[in-house]
Structure 1
Amino acid sequence: MNAPADLVRNLLHATLNSYSRTELARYLDVNPATIARWINGQSEPRAYVAQALQQLLQPQAPARSTPAEFTFIDLFAGIGGIRKAFEQEGGQCVFTSEWDSYAQKTYHANNPDGQRIAGDITQVAEADIPPHDVLLAGFPCQPFSIAGVSKKNALGRAHGFADATQGTLFFDVARIIAAHRPRAFVLENVKNLHSHDQGRTFAVILQTLREELGYEVHYRVIDGQHWVPQHRERVVIVGFREPTDFSWDLLQLPENKLPTRMAQVFHRTDGKEPVLAHDGDKFFDHAKGEVNPKYILTDKLWAYLQNYAEKHRAKGNGFGFGLVDANSISRTLSARYYKDGSEILVSRGAGLNPRRLTPRECARLMGYPDDFRIPVSDTRAYKQFGNSVVVPVFREVARMIKPWIVSPKADQG
């Protein structure tokens, strides 16, 4: 079904006041030339185009009822999990960068504030980023080439972070910190960052932050399973421009006597599953009170996964699928979950094929509330949640560092 051409042309003209044609093409997953043909009436767009453009043109969110307590920028933002956490603690996002167009779509759907998302951060000048109190970044993990740096050290020559980190995305984090000198930063990465490239990557990062940029730096691996029923360890690095008495001993774990379990994530089949207008029956059939059967594994895939697990058990390996029930804590949800769902399969009882988690269940497993919109395909949603953060973990991090990023304590050092 095609959308009325005049409607789409009007929406395109309105949207192009705020976004470039290239940005729109990435958002709509089409070629820029396709947008030109739509504008010129040479081809007719599908119905989803009008809906997507209308969503992008949603009116700006209402003004905050209370002034923001601090400002932050959101780099390598993904779908906005760290942003959500810091907003919950009174922060205001003043700049966002995320290169993936599908992640941008989900980010826009959940943050309809009219703020543009910068794409490739390597192409953004420091001067184009507004002042901010906190820099947030879940930057990708890359090895550094330190041969040149080692040679300079051997020759007694000085070098800066640009020499050590150029060509990696961490360089962009460092150059923005150097230019803006925010009161604090929060960096997130996989647990393996600590041992990546035989520890050289982490060593360069710490040296850059402490010695080159002059920040007080603290880091810790935090497991998300204290807040959600998922074993998910991530390294969190926080840094302060001024001296503080910050300590990870301030970390407050939830006071639940019993840890969270998968029952809190699963769709409810007792008639109490909430009806979400933005989900409809996409994931859960409310009339039947059951999860959409498309998430149940086929006989062929289930047989393959069982045979694969048995083959490795015979070799003494621990590889294989992870089966969970209502009382379980799951393995780590990964970005490859869309392939076969093997790391977290939901048991449906003896003799029945298990099923994958639905994207809504993945959202819950990452600590997102049910009002979080999922405007992309299942495949994209699985990748996005697998790459995201456990939101309540970072709300706790925001709470911990807040005393040193808001006035007057932040100004006192």
Structure 2
Amino acid sequence: MELKEKISIEDINGESVRIRLVEAENYKKSAFTHYLHNNKNGVSRFYKKDAVSYVKDLLANKNPEERITNKVAEKALQYYLFNFKNNVPFPEPKNPKFKFIDLFAGIGGFRLALQNIGGKCVFTSEWDKYSKQTYEANFGEIPFGDITKDITKSFIPDNFDVLCAGFPCQAFSIAGKRGGFEDTRGTLFFDVAEIIKKRKPKAVFLENVKGLRSHDKGKTLETILNTLREDLGYFVPEPQIINARNFGVPQNRERIFIVGFRNDLGIEKFEYPKAINKKPILSDILEKEEVSVKYYLSDRYLNTLKNHKARHASKGNGFGYEIIPEHGTANAVVCGGMGRERNLLYDHKLTNFKPITNISSEVNREGIRKMTPREWARLQGFPDDFRQVVSDAQAYKQFGNSVAVPAIQAMAKQILKTLKK
């Protein structure tokens, strides 16, 4: 059934019908880009009907006097296939080795990592509109929206190999229960588990914050593992905490990795990736040329940070800003002000001290600045040709929320290696 037909009659006179029409248009646009990216691998059939509908709407808007048929729209859709990849910075590999889906996709850290080792992404979802803009700019594909909605799940194709998800951490209500699939209802992990149950991928690759291990006194992780092992039928080795610093980026970023393999594959052993020998330092990712004065702290702001740190130090606390030496390692980049304030640095290359933002005092002369979004991108392992198409504020948020690409890639290599065995 076409998306517009899914709107219920009782909503016709309400505001919700306009919102749902907009949502329907967004879904069709996502289906259109997914169709273009999957026209050669058989997955396109999951997206074709709404892709044709989207093109039909485009043609009707451009040619209001003409009657646009599905046949005309299908021909136009084939025309798009010749041109859509001309300006995609990170296209999929020409000869993919496996297929995966990208849930809670953010700006595509999982996708970039798995494409680098020969993976083909056949479905992606992300609800944040700014992250979707960055994702589209770099991969030429618009993620579907809210994965908790049945309509979003209905677009997920069959027969993909790996499910990837960096889902948010939520507590489960498991008091007096066995801590399995049913106990995850109302959480985002439930939606992941529901997809696994229905699509049965060969492997599952989940990433979360280090604190998941102790979250809700360990009950949250216990429920996740019980669900995967007992209810969904996957071999799941004991999860491991991986530090991105051990895989080529100068950032202390510890995340828990959970991997699972469908029981019928007969896999009973998995080796987590080993740290590489390279020990990166901050100067490896810093800008070589002078950066804008907007990244330098004002005197007033710097004094505020110093006073704040001094107050905590007097109480025996270690809170406050931190200046990372060039030979050092950055703290974990996170969204929010402290992610930047705990990763300040000295940079004396500034020659123009005239403020270009509305600060209320002079630019500091100590050379103290925050890192640029591009430097944060490098800390997360994104290449320099990864496009930043949003404001700095959004870019900090996106890179802070992202996965560290090299660590994800090292883990994905091990998953693929295990599947091949």
- The match for 1:266 is 286
Shift of 1:128: 2.5
Identical pairs, percent: 44
Contact 2:251–2:332 (CA under 8 A) maintained in structure 1:
yes
Indicate whether 1:234 and 2:255 are aligned.
yes
Task: Report the Cα distance in structure 1 between the residues aligned to 2:256 and 2:341, rounded to whole angstroms.
Answer: 25
CA distance in 1, matches of 2:373, 2:94: 33
Structure 1 residues 297 and 221: alpha-carbon distance in aligned structure 2, compared to 1, 3 A threshold: same
Aligned with 1:355: secondary structure? strand
State the 1:23 CA deviation. Answer: 6.6
Q: In the alignment, does 2:370 pair up with 1:346?
A: no
Query: What is the match of residue 60 of structure 1?
Result: 84
Quote the residue 1:170 is aligned against.
189
- 1:356-384: CA deviations, max 9, x gaps? 11111110010000010000000000000
Question: Which of 86, 103, 107 is the aligned partner of 1:75?
Answer: 103
In structure 2, what is the equivalent of residue 134 of structure 1? 162
Q: 1:267 to 1:184 in 2, by over 3 A?
A: same
| Structure 1 residue 255, shift from structure 2 partner | 2.3
What is the identity, as a one-letter code, of the residue corresponding to 1:360?
R
Matches within 5 A, 1:7-406: 20-21=24-25, 59-61=83-85, 66-112=94-140, 115-125=141-151, 126-131=153-158, 132-147=160-175, 150=176, 161=181, 163-218=182-237, 219-226=239-246, 227-241=248-262, 242-248=265-271, 250-256=272-278, 259-269=279-289, 290-337=290-337, 341-348=340-347, 352-406=366-420
State whether residues 70 and 405 of structure 1, in contact with CA within 8 Å, keep that contact through their aligned partners in structure 2: no
Give how far 1:340 is off.
Answer: 7.7
Q: CA 1:321/1:144 → structure 2, altered by over 3 Å: closer, same or farther?
A: same
Query: How far, CA to CA, are the matches of 1:369 and 1:244 in structure 2?
Result: 34
Summarize deviations over 1:16-54 as a string: whole Å, max 9, x none: xx984457999xxxxxxxxxxxx89xxxxxxxxxxxxxx
Equivalent AA in structure 2 for residue 321 of structure 1:
Y
- The alpha-carbon deviation at position 58 of structure 1 amounts to 11
Question: Alpha carbons of 1:213 and 1:25: their partners in 2 closer, same or farther (altered >3 Å)?
Answer: closer
Residue identity matched to 1:341 = R
Alpha-carbon separation, structure 2, partners of 1:82 and 1:362: 17
Please give the secondary structure, in 1, of the residue aligned with 2:241: strand
Report the residue type matching 1:342 in the other structure.
Answer: E
Residue 258 of structure 2: SS of its match in structure 1?
A: strand
CA change 1:19–1:324 in 2 (3 A) is same
Aligned to 1:14: none
Shift of 1:142: 0.5
**Residue 49 of structure 1 aligns with which residue?**
none
In 2, Cα distance between the equivalents of 1:99 and 1:207?
28
The 1:264–1:19 alpha-carbon spacing in structure 2 relative to 1, beyond 3 Å, is farther
Q: Mean Cα displacement is larger for which, 319-328 or 173-182? A: 319-328
- Compared with structure 1, are the counterparts of its residues 308 and 72 closer, same or farther at alpha carbon in structure 2 (3 Å cutoff)? same
Answer yes or no: is the 8 Å Cα contact 1:74–1:83 preserved in 2: yes
Amino acid at match of 1:104: K
Judge conservation of contact 1:95–1:130 (CA < 8 Å) in 2. Answer: yes
**Cα RMSD, aligned residues only:** 2.7
Question: Counterpart of 1:61 in structure 2: which amino acid?
Answer: K
Contact 1:143/1:201 (CA < 8 Å) preserved in 2?
yes
The corresponding residue for 2:48 is none
What is the TM-score normalised by the length of structure 1? 0.74
Distance between the aligned counterparts of 2:307 and 2:347, measured in 1? Answer: 19
Please list every run of 5 or more consecutive structure 1 residues that lacks an aligned counterpart in the other structure.
Answer: 1-17, 27-38, 41-56, 154-158, 270-289
Q: Secondary structure at the match of 1:323?
A: coil
Q: Deviations over 1:320-368 (max 9, x none)?
A: 111013211011111114x782110012369515111111111001000
Q: Distance in 2 between matches of 1:330 and 1:64?
A: 31
CA distance in 1, matches of 2:252, 2:374: 18
**Structure 2: any 5+ residue segments left out of the alignment?**
1-21, 31-60, 63-80, 349-363
Please give the alpha-carbon distance, in whole angstroms, between the structure 1 residues aligned to 2:335 and 2:27.
Answer: 24
Pick closer, same or farther for the CA change 1:117–1:252 going to 2, 3 Å. same
Q: Hey, what's the Cα distance between the residues in 1 that align with 2:339 and 2:283? A: 22
| Count of aligned pairs between the two proteins | 328
SS of 2:382's partner is: coil
Task: Give distance in 1, aligned partners of 2:133 and 2:154.
Answer: 26
CA contact (8 A) 2:333 2:340 kept: no
